[in-house]
Amino acid sequence: MYAGLAPDFGRYVIEYPFGDIYARPGLDLRTRLLTAVAALAAVGDSEVPLGNHIRYALNVGCTRDEIVETIMQTSVYAGFPRAVKGLAVAEKVLAERSGGQ
Amino acid sequence: MYAGLAPDFGRYVIEYPFGDIYARPGLDLRTRLLTAVAALAAVGDSEVPLGNHIRYALNVGCTRDEIVETIMQTSVYAGFPRAVKGLAVAEKVLAERSGGQ
Amino acid sequence: MYAGLAPDFGRYVIEYPFGDIYARPGLDLRTRLLTAVAALAAVGDSEVPLGNHIRYALNVGCTRDEIVETIMQTSVYAGFPRAVKGLAVAEKVLAERSGGQ
Amino acid sequence: MYAGLAPDFGRYVIEYPFGDIYARPGLDLRTRLLTAVAALAAVGDSEVPLGNHIRYALNVGCTRDEIVETIMQTSVYAGFPRAVKGLAVAEKVLAERSGGQ
Amino acid sequence: MYAGLAPDFGRYVIEYPFGDIYARPGLDLRTRLLTAVAALAAVGDSEVPLGNHIRYALNVGCTRDEIVETIMQTSVYAGFPRAVKGLAVAEKVLAERSGGQ
Amino acid sequence: MYAGLAPDFGRYVIEYPFGDIYARPGLDLRTRLLTAVAALAAVGDSEVPLGNHIRYALNVGCTRDEIVETIMQTSVYAGFPRAVKGLAVAEKVLAERSGGQ
């Protein structure tokens, strides 16, 4: 997306989150990704980033159950509508993965 | 708080979150609490619940670093102001705990 | 949706909101549904739940005017964009109903 | 507040919400105020306006139960932390009123 | 949209924002529109109003760079997902305009 | 704050926002700060960062009127309660400055 419109943003979106934050010790990568999924589902209006982070979480070995549980729990902290919305995103991403087998 | 005003709410706030959600398998308790901290910091306007969940997280063995990293990461997903606010809550709770030694 | 992905969530989404909260005395069902519509429109990112609650509100006898007034009022408390978004959801749901006559 | 800083805003905050919206037929005043309380509790970061609207709701005859039920219900649509926060505001306002007897 | 459903709302959405607020001195129109774009991108769930305000901003002479910079900056104050979402809206609107040449 | 708890965060909060974003051409510094004030007021739960950015805005030559107008406008995009909250922050910061004369 950013190629024409905002080429530097394509770099920022990598550099600070992944270069600085994700490279830090103190939180293992699986837990980082589950807490990221939790934050994105709670914020609620971020289907594309939430879908991407579910994919990253699967890639580093988070289980399907861990991801679903993390998003269901959003119902407590940010209300049922955001949990419903997050589960809809998870359903699509998890279907892609199963479909690929 | 709820004793006089809304006595049943005191039960609901335990029953659904802790009776139903926290009792589920699929996510270990330490990860549940870190993802809860992530969701609360992202939602942002929840100092009391965030403080309580940081205490619960410490009680089940999450490290101070894991909690701080989880909240710092909020800067990526919900902006710097919410990370700053969450870290201020963490600072108070962690100071209570250190002060008790 | 939840059948495969999160079967228990399909139960939670009924049990706490409808089993516990909606069954309570103290607020008549029409007012419960209008206040639910108000909350969903204010939260803003919940088209599917907002649409469903508009349907429930119509089913228990709320008028089309009451629903539209409730959503218009969101402009005061959560800004014009959320009122606009909520009215777009209402327009679809009300058109379905009229179309059925 | 607005006297020195933003004198016209003091007029706007009355004119559009109360002059235009609250004067409309289609929703009785008690229901308007309960839906306003619902929207303010859902938005969550509005202690002063929420407190004021609870006072207005009491003034037009809403019961203490109706107000408490409306705010408890926020737990479903915007999560438990916002319901907790709203109930804390209600508790203060309702205590003022009882104290005055 | 409002013609059938909520005809007065079509007037309110003009009167208060444009009749009252935009007519005020103290902030030139270009800056008003850039700050409106900033607020809409930060609120995040308002694709239609954000798109419209980007068009208005272009109409009063804001540059493409000013608009893109304003939205990129949302990453700092409301997180990367909202900046990403805002840039996607900007991309569509700016493409329409370029396509018209 | 971050000295003991999260020393690197003190660096991040400067580096990305000010090192990367604020250093960019395409938006003059006065407009950058007014759009930052707009975003912070719209996000709503960020008294400390909003206060700081009002101070920075004054430091680079934004007028008191420009700041007040920017925050008043939040009423349109994020509702009256956030405008009220933002004006309360502005009032404190502007009083400090006047008091210093």
Site from D9, D13, D14, D20 to mutate, E interface, most E CB atoms within 10 angstroms: D20
- Other CB atoms within 10 Å distance of the CB of residue E74: 31
Chain E partners within 8 Å of C63 (Cβ): none
- Residues of F in CB contact (< 8 Å) with C are 75-82
Q: Do A24 and F8 touch (CB under 8 A)?
A: yes
Average pLDDT, integer, range E41-66:
94
Give the Cα separation of C68 and C92 in Å (integer). 12
User: B45: closest CA among E96, D80, F29, C40?
Assistant: D80
Q: Do C12 and B16 touch (CB under 8 A)?
A: yes
Give how far Cα B101 sits from Cα of B11, B54, B98, D94, Å.
33, 18, 6, 40
Query: For F23, which DSSP code?
Result: T
Q: Is residue B20 within 8 Å of residue D82, measured between CB atoms?
A: no
* Chain centre distance of CA C6: 23
Give the Cα separation of D28 and D34 in Å (integer). 10
Give the Cα separation of E74 and E82 in Å (integer). 7
* Chain centre distance of CA E67: 9
- Tokens representing A98? 């199963």
- Residues of D in CB contact (< 8 Å) with B are 44-45, 68, 72, 75, 79-85, 87-88, 90-91, 94
- Residue F49 is predicted with a pLDDT of 93
Site from D1, D2, D8, D9 to mutate, F interface, most F CB atoms within 10 angstroms: D9
Chain A partners within 8 Å of F8 (Cβ): 24
Q: Do F81 and D1 touch (CB under 8 A)?
A: no
For C40, nearest residue in chain D (alpha carbons): D77
- Residue D2 is predicted with a pLDDT of 63
Q: Do E6 and C44 touch (CB under 8 A)?
A: no
Neighbours of chain F (3+ CB pairs under 8 A): A, B, C, D, E
pLDDT surpasses 60 at D95 = yes
Give the Cα separation of C42 and C83 in Å (integer). 8
For F78, nearest residue in chain C (alpha carbons): C79
Average pLDDT, integer, range C72-90:
95
pLDDT tens-place string over residues B42-56 = 998 778 999 999 999
pLDDT tens-place string over residues A72-95 = 999 999 999 999 999 999 999 999
- Residue D18 is predicted with a pLDDT of 85
Neighbours of chain E (3+ CB pairs under 8 A): A, B, C, D, F
Average pLDDT, integer, range B76-83:
95
Query: For C100, which DSSP code?
Result: T
pLDDT tens-place string over residues F48-100 = 999 999 999 999 999 999 999 999 999 999 999 999 999 999 999 999 988 65
* Chain centre distance of CA F95: 16
Chain B partners within 8 Å of F17 (Cβ): 80
pLDDT surpasses 90 at D30 = yes
Distance from the Cα of A16 to chain F's closest Cα (Å) equals 7
Chain C partners within 8 Å of B21 (Cβ): 12
- Tokens representing B6? 């809304």
Chain A partners within 8 Å of B75 (Cβ): 21
Element (DSSP H or E) covering residue E10: helix E7-14
Q: What is the DSSP string of chain F?
A: -HHHH-HHHHHHHHIIIIIIITT-SSS-HHHHHHHHHHHHHHH---HHHHHHHHHHHHHTT--HHHHHHHHHTHHHHH-HHHHHHHHHHHHHHHHHHHHT-
Q: Is residue D78 within 8 Å of residue C79, measured between CB atoms?
A: no
pTM of the full structure: 0.94
Q: Do B87 and F9 touch (CB under 8 A)?
A: yes
CB proximity list for F51: less than 8 A, separation 6 or greater = F89, F92, F93
Average pLDDT, integer, range B79-88:
94
Site from C2, C5, C37 to mutate, A interface, most A CB atoms within 10 angstroms: C5
- Coil, strand or helix at C44: coil
CA dihedral over B3, B5, B8, B9, signed as positive or negative: negative
Query: For D65, which DSSP code?
Result: H
Give the Cα separation of E65 and C15 in Å (integer). 51
Q: Do A79 and D78 touch (CB under 8 A)?
A: yes
Give the Cα separation of A26 and B65 in Å (integer). 5
The model's confidence at residue F101, banded by pLDDT at 50, 70 and 90, is very low
The model's confidence at residue F3, banded by pLDDT at 50, 70 and 90, is low
| Option in F12, F21, F24 nearest A20 (CB) | F12
Distance from the Cα of C17 to chain E's closest Cα (Å) equals 25
Number of H helices, E strands in chain F: 7, 0
pLDDT surpasses 80 at C55 = yes
Give the Cα separation of F17 and F26 in Å (integer). 15
Give the Cα separation of F85 and F26 in Å (integer). 30
Mean pLDDT of chain D: 91
Range with lowest mean pLDDT among C8-12, C78-82, D3-7, D37-41: D3-7
- Other CB atoms within 10 Å distance of the CB of residue F28: 12
Q: Is residue D81 within 8 Å of residue B40, measured between CB atoms?
A: yes
Site from C18, C45, C50, C52 to mutate, A interface, most A CB atoms within 10 angstroms: C45
CB proximity list for C30: less than 8 A, separation 6 or greater = C57, C60, C61, C62
Chain C partners within 8 Å of F78 (Cβ): 78-79
**End-to-end CA separation in angstroms for chain F:** 29
Query: For F86, which DSSP code?
Result: H
Give the Cα separation of F66 and F80 in Å (integer). 18
The model's confidence at residue F1, banded by pLDDT at 50, 70 and 90, is low
Q: Do C80 and F77 touch (CB under 8 A)?
A: yes
Distance from the Cα of A21 to chain D's closest Cα (Å) equals 27
Q: Do E35 and F38 touch (CB under 8 A)?
A: yes
pLDDT surpasses 50 at A101 = no
pLDDT surpasses 60 at C40 = yes
- Residue F7 is predicted with a pLDDT of 85
Q: Do C31 and D31 touch (CB under 8 A)?
A: yes
pLDDT tens-place string over residues A5-45 = 888 898 898 888 888 898 898 999 999 999 999 999 999 87
Give the Cα separation of E37 and E50 in Å (integer). 6
Q: What proportion of chain D, given as a percentage, has pLDDT over 90? A: 65
Give the Cα separation of B39 and D29 in Å (integer). 36
Q: Is residue E6 within 8 Å of residue C87, measured between CB atoms?
A: yes
Residue pointed to by tokens 């729990």: A73
Give the Cα separation of B30 and D34 in Å (integer). 39
Burial of residue A56 (number of CB atoms within 10 Å: 0-12, 13-18, 19+): middle
The model's confidence at residue B2, banded by pLDDT at 50, 70 and 90, is low
- Residues of E in CB contact (< 8 Å) with B are 75-82
Q: Do A79 and D77 touch (CB under 8 A)?
A: yes
- Residue B10 is predicted with a pLDDT of 87
User: F35: closest CA among F56, F14, F7?
Assistant: F56
Q: Is residue F90 within 8 Å of residue F71, measured between CB atoms?
A: yes
User: F31: closest CA among A49, A63, A44, E69?
Assistant: E69
Give the Cα separation of C13 and D54 in Å (integer). 28
Mean pLDDT of chain B: 91
- Residue E2 is predicted with a pLDDT of 63
- Coil, strand or helix at C51: helix
For F11, nearest residue in chain A (alpha carbons): A20
pLDDT surpasses 80 at E53 = yes
Give the Cα separation of C71 and D39 in Å (integer). 10
Residue pointed to by tokens 């619940």: B49
Q: Do B79 and E81 touch (CB under 8 A)?
A: no
